[in-house]
Amino acid sequence: MSDEQMQEALGLPPQEESLFEAPPMAEQERMVEAILFASAEPVSVKELEARLPHGSVVSQALVNLQRRYEGRGVQVTRVGEAWAIRTAPDLGFLMQKETVETRKLSRAAIETLAIVAYHQPVTRAEIEEIRGVSVSRGTVDQLLELEWIRFGRRRMTPGRPVTFVVTQEFLDHFGLENARDLPGLKELRAAGLLDNRPRPGNMPGVTNEDEEEVIEDEDQGDMFEE
Amino acid sequence: MSDEQMQEALGLPPQEESLFEAPPMAEQERMVEAILFASAEPVSVKELEARLPHGSVVSQALVNLQRRYEGRGVQVTRVGEAWAIRTAPDLGFLMQKETVETRKLSRAAIETLAIVAYHQPVTRAEIEEIRGVSVSRGTVDQLLELEWIRFGRRRMTPGRPVTFVVTQEFLDHFGLENARDLPGLKELRAAGLLDNRPRPGNMPGVTNEDEEEVIEDEDQGDMFEE
Amino acid sequence: MADQEFDLEPTRTQSVAERLAAEALIVDVDGFEGPLDLLLTLGRTQKVDLRKISILHLAEQYLEFVEKAKELRIELAADYLVMAAWLAFLKSRLLLPPDPTEEGPSGEELAAHLAFQLERLAAMRDSAAKLMARDQKGRDFFVRGVPENMTRVRRVTYTATLMDLMQAYARIRTKDEFRPFVMDRDSVFTMEQALERMRSMIGFSGTWTELSSYFPIGWDGDAMRKRSATAATFAATLQLAKEGKVELRQGGTFEPIQLRRREAAQDKIKPVENIGPQEVQDE
C-alpha cells in the first residue's frame, strides 16, 4: 500500500491539507519502530509524540506497527500509557542466556502484591484486614524495591493513611496492558470479593503494632505532591 | 507466503526429508529475530546455530530476516562475523532527546538589533556610537545566528567597514513588512513607550552592565574580515 | 448462611483422617500466617465450596485445634487465642436462640462476615497464583538487549517581541534626555522647567512671597496641570534651598509656604536638609 492509499484507508486527511508537514504514515511507523526498539523501558505515547515530527499520528502508527509484528519473534505491546517491544513469550526457551534470576518472593509478598493489584488503591490496614495478619515492613519494602508497587494518594480518612498502587513496571513484568486486565478481575468484582466490607462489631482483626509509621509519615508529606 | 512455499522458493528440501525435525523456516526466522533483539551483543552464526533447534538453517533465516527489515525503522546488520539489530542510520536523530529552552534576548542584543533595524545599513562603529557602549562579538554573533541581521554592503568610507542590515527572517519574526514600518520616536512617545525612567545604578551616560565586553572586543579585530 | 448447621453432630462424626490432619496442622503451627490462614486451611478440610462452608463446624475445628495445641504445650501467639475466644463466643451465639435485648450484630451476621473474609482471602491466594503463572519479563519474554542511549540535547532559542525592540530603541534614543517621567507631557510641568523659571525670578524676591506666585502662567486652571506645577515648583524650591539660594517658611500645617532670596549675611541659617528626590542633584 502506498502512503497515500494507507492514509486514505485510515481516513486521514491527505498530506496537503495537514497543518504541519507530517511525514507519511509509513515513515511515522518506521520512526516509532526505531524508538521502541532502542528502549528497554516502555516509551509513553506522550514521549513518542514529542519525539516524532509535528502532526504525526502516533496512536495510528502504533496500531499499524502492532499489527505488523503480529506472530513475529518480537511483539509490540502496550503497557499502561506506554508501549514496548518484547520477545514473544513462546520463545522464552531460547533465552537461557538472557534469563534474569529473580529473587524468590515469599508467600506474604506474593499475596500482598496480588492484594495491591486487585484492590488498588489500598492501605496497609486493608491489606492486613484481607490477609488477617500484619504486613511486615520487609514485605512492602521488597515490593517497593522491585518497583512493582508505589505509594498512591493518601486516603482522605482519619489519619490520612497512604495507599499503595501497582506500577507500570508491574504491568510490564507481567505482560499486562493495564491493571484492568488482571486475570479474573471481573469475576471477583461480580462476586463482591473486591468490596470493602467493614468488619462488624467485636470481630478480632489485626492490631497494628507499628505505630511508628504514623510518625514517620509526618515528614513524608511532600512525597505525594505530584 | 506459506512456509512450504517459502522453503520451495529458497530451494530448500521439504520438511519431511530433513534428518532432524527443524521448525519451519518462518519459525526459525522468529527465533533469530527474538535472539538478536534480546542479546546484549551481536550474535555469531555459530551461536545462533547452537541456540536454534537442530537442523535449522540459520544463514537462510538471517537472509530472510534481513530482507524483511529492509526499509524499516531498524535493520538486521552484520557486524564482523556476528549479527545484530540496529536503528536505521537515517533515524539516528530520533535517538536524541531535545529540550528547547526559550530565553529572552539580552538587553545588549535587543538594543543592537533595534539600532540595526532603525538605522540600517549601519556599521559597528555607528552602533557603538548610538548605544554609547561597545558592542561585543557575542552579541553580534547571536543576532547573526538567529538570522535576524546579516552583513550588508561595505560602506565606501576609509577602512571600508561592513554594515549590518536586518533580514527577511527578522521581518517575519516581528511581523513587519518592511523595516521602514517601524514606528518613529514621536510615535513611540505618543504610544507611551518612552518609559525610560533610569533604574538605580543605571543612570544615563554611565557605561552599562557588560564591562567585560570592552576587554573582550580587543582581540576581535578580525570580526569583519569576510 | 441459610444452610448453617446448628448441631454438634459433625464434631462427633469427625473422621480419623480429619483428626490426623488436625494434628499435622498443629505440628506445622509456625507455617500459618495468622488465624485467618489457619481457618482457611481448616475450612478446606470440609471439602465443600467455601460459600457452603459451615462456620459453626469451622469454629469447632478451630477450638479443637487450640485445645490440642494446649495439650501438646505448644505456645500459640496471642492473636490465635483472641480468635479462639471470639469463635467460642460466635459458637454460643449461633447455638442459642437470639436474645432480642442483646445489641450488636447477630451470630448469623458475624458468621457471614467470617465466611466472606475466608472467601476473599482464598480468592486473593488464587489470583496471586494466577498472576505468578503469567509470562514474566526476564523469564518468558525479554527486553531489548542493547538499549540505545538517549543523548540529551539542550537547545536554547531566543525570543523578543516588537514591543521589546521598540522599547529598547526608545531607551537608547532618550538616554541623553533628562526626562525622568514619561507621560503626556502637555500636562506635566517638570522640575527642570520650574527650576529654570525660579532661578530667573528669585533674584527679585527680597521679601517673603507665597510659593503659588511662582506658578507658571496658565497652569492653574486644569487640576492635573495645577498639581504638576505645584509639585515641580515646590521641588525646585527645595533644591534652591539646598543650594542656599532661598529661605523657606510655613506658618503651620497646610499654611501657605513662603520663600525669599537668601542674603549672604544670613549665612548662619542652615539650608533645608536633603529632602528632594535623588534625581534633583546637580549634573
**Span C248-262, pLDDT tens digits:** 888 888 888 888 888
Query: Is residue B99, in this structure, part of any structural domain at all?
Result: no
pLDDT at residue C74 greater than cutoff 90: no
CATH number at residue B46: 1.10.10.10
Q: What is the ipTM of this complex?
A: 0.62
What strands lie across the sheet with B162-166, from one edge to the other?
B122-123, B162-166, B149-154
Q: How confident is the model at residue C8 (pLDDT cuts 50, 70, 90)?
A: very low
Q: Which of A100-104, A106-110, C148-152 bottoms out in mean pLDDT, i.e. has the lowest? A: C148-152
* Distance from C-alpha of A126 to C-alpha of A152, rounded to nearest angstrom: 14
C6 in contact with chain A, both atoms CB, cutoff 8 A: no
Residues B142 and B75 in one domain: no
Whether residues B151 and B204 share a domain: the answer is yes
Helix (H, G, I), strand (E, B) or coil at C137: strand
**Residue C282 has which C-alpha cell?**
546637580
Helix (H, G, I), strand (E, B) or coil at C77: coil
Count of structural domains, chain A: 2
Q: What b/e string do you get for A41-50 counting C-beta neighbours within 10 Å, with b at 16 or more?
A: ebbebebbee
Contacts of A1 (CB under 8 A, 6+ apart): A9
Cross-chain residue pair C135–A37, CB shorter than 8 Å: no
pLDDT at B150 over 80: yes
Q: What percent of chain B has pLDDT over 70?
A: 72
CATH fold of C191-261: Arc Repressor Mutant, subunit A (1.10.10)
Q: Which residues of C touch B197 (CB under 8 A)?
A: 180-182
Residues of C whose CB is below 8 A from B205: 175-176
- Give A219→chain C minimum CA distance, Å: 32
- What is the residue range of A200's domain? 107-222
- Domain-terminating residue out of A42, A58, A89: A89
pLDDT, average across residues C59-74: 85
- Same-domain pairing of B49 and B139: no
Give A98 or B8, the one with higher predicted confidence: A98
The string of pLDDT tens digits covering residues C9-27 is 444 455 676 666 666 666 6
Q: In the listed set A89, A115, A150, which residue is the last one of a domain according to the structure?
A: A89
Last residue of a domain, one of B33, B62, B89: B89
In the predicted structure, residue A217 carries a pLDDT above the cut 50: no
Nearest CB to B114; choose among C155, C158, C169: C169
Q: Decide if A33 touches B, using CB distance below 8 A.
A: yes
| Delimiting residues of CATH 1.10.10.580 domain(s) in chain C | 191-261
C22 to chain A, closest Cα gap in Å? 21
At C282 the pLDDT is 40
Model confidence at A184: pLDDT above 80: yes
User: Does residue B96 sit within a domain?
Assistant: no
Find where cell 506658618 sits.
Answer: C251
Mutate to test the interface with C, among A133, A139, A181 (most CBs of C within 10 A): A133
- Match 475450612 to its residue by C-alpha cell: C43
Across A108-134, average pLDDT: 93
Do A126 and A182 lie in one domain? The reply is yes
Residues B82 and B119 in one domain: no
Q: Are residues A150 and A79 in the same domain?
A: no
Residues A49 and A83 in one domain: yes
Quote the mean pLDDT of chain C. Answer: 76
* Contact call for B142 and C158, based on CB within 8 A: yes
Identify the residue with better confidence: B82 or C203: B82
Least confident of A9-23, B70-84, C163-177: A9-23
* pLDDT of res. A222: 38
Could you tell me if A75 and C142 are in contact, meaning their C-beta atoms sit under 8 angstroms apart? no
Residue with cell 500482598: A112
> Which residues on adjacent β-strands are paired with residue B162?
B154
* Average pLDDT, rounded, for chain A: 82
Give the SS3 label for residue B163: strand
Residues B113 and B215 in one domain: yes
Task: Kindly report which listed range (A71-85, B21-35, C220-234, C264-278) carries the lowest average pLDDT score.
Answer: C264-278
What single string gives the DSSP state of each residue in chain A? --HHHHHHHTTPPPGGG-SS-PPPHHHHHHHHHHHHHH-SS-EEHHHHHHHSPTT--HHHHHHHHHHHTTTSSEEEEEETTEEEEEE-GGGGGGGTTT---PPPPPHHHHHHHHHHHHH-SEEHHHHHHHHTSPPPHHHHHHHHHTTSEEE-PPPSSTT---EEEE-HHHHHHTT-SSGGGSTTHHHHHHTTTTS-PPPPTT--------THHHHHHHTTGGGG--
Partners of A84 on chain B (C-beta within 8 Å) are none
* pLDDT tens sequence across B42-86: 999 999 999 999 889 999 999 999 999 999 999 999 888 889 999
List all residues of chain A from 108 to 147 with a beta carbon under 8 Å from chain B: none
SS3 at position B102: strand
Question: Above 50 in pLDDT, residue B182?
Answer: yes
Say yes or no: C146 contacts chain B, CB-CB below 8 A: yes
In a domain, residue B95? The reply is no
Domain assignment present for residue B97? The answer is no
Residues B122 and B151 reside in one and the same domain: yes
Cβ–Cβ contact C138 with A under 8 A: yes
> Can you tell me the mean pLDDT for C68-79?
81
Decide: pTM greater than 0.95.
Answer: no
**Of the ranges A11-15, B131-135, C248-252, which one carries the lowest mean pLDDT score?**
A11-15
More confident residue, A22 or C99: A22
A121 and A203 share a domain? Answer: yes
Look at residue A99 and tell me if it is in a domain: no
- Put simply, the answer to whether A133 touches C34 (Cβ < 8 Å) is yes
Question: CB-based contact (8 Å) between B94 and chain A?
Answer: yes
Report yes or no on A7 lying in a domain. yes
Q: Evaluate if residue A115 carries a pLDDT over 90.
A: yes
pLDDT at C18: 65
pLDDT at residue A10, as a whole number? 52
pLDDT of residue A101: 79
Average pLDDT score over residue span C180-189 = 58
Regarding whether B112 and B212 lie in a shared domain, the answer is yes
To test the contact with chain C by mutation, choose from A33, A48, A100, A180 the residue with the greatest count of C C-beta atoms within 10 A, namely: A100
Q: Are residues A111 and A85 in the same domain?
A: no
Go through C180-218 and write b for each residue having 16 or more CB atoms within 10 A of its CB, e for each that does not: bebeeeeebbbbbbbbebbeeebeebeeebebeebbeee
Amino acid C186: pLDDT: 65
- Tell me if C143 and A86 make a contact (CB, 8 A cut-off): yes
- The C-alpha atoms of residue C78 and residue C85 are separated, in whole angstroms, by 11
pLDDT tops 80 at residue C118 = yes
Contact B194 C170 (CB under 8 A): yes
In this complex, the chains that touch C, judged by 3 or more CB pairs closer than 8 A, are A, B
In the stretch 88-117 of chain B, residues with CB closer than 8 A to chain C read: 95-105, 107, 109-111, 113-115, 117
Touching subunits for chain B (3+ Cβ pairs under 8 A): A, C
Query: What is the per-residue pLDDT for A29?
Result: 95
B133 in a domain, yes or no?
Answer: yes
Of A56, A31, A26, A25, residue with least CA distance to A43: A31
Query: For A38, which of B39, B72, B87 is closest by C-beta distance?
Result: B87
- pLDDT tier for residue C185 given thresholds of 50, 70 and 90: low
User: Which of A201-215, B197-211, C58-72, C133-147 bottoms out in mean pLDDT, i.e. has the lowest?
Assistant: B197-211
pLDDT of A40 higher than 60? yes
Cβ of residue B213 closer than 8 Å to a chain A Cβ: no
| From A30, A52, A91, residue closest to B30, measured CB to CB | A91
d(CA C65, CA B164): 98
B 186-205 near C (Cβ less than 8 A):
188-189, 192-198, 204-205
**B137: in domain:** yes
| Rounded average pLDDT over A14-21 | 52
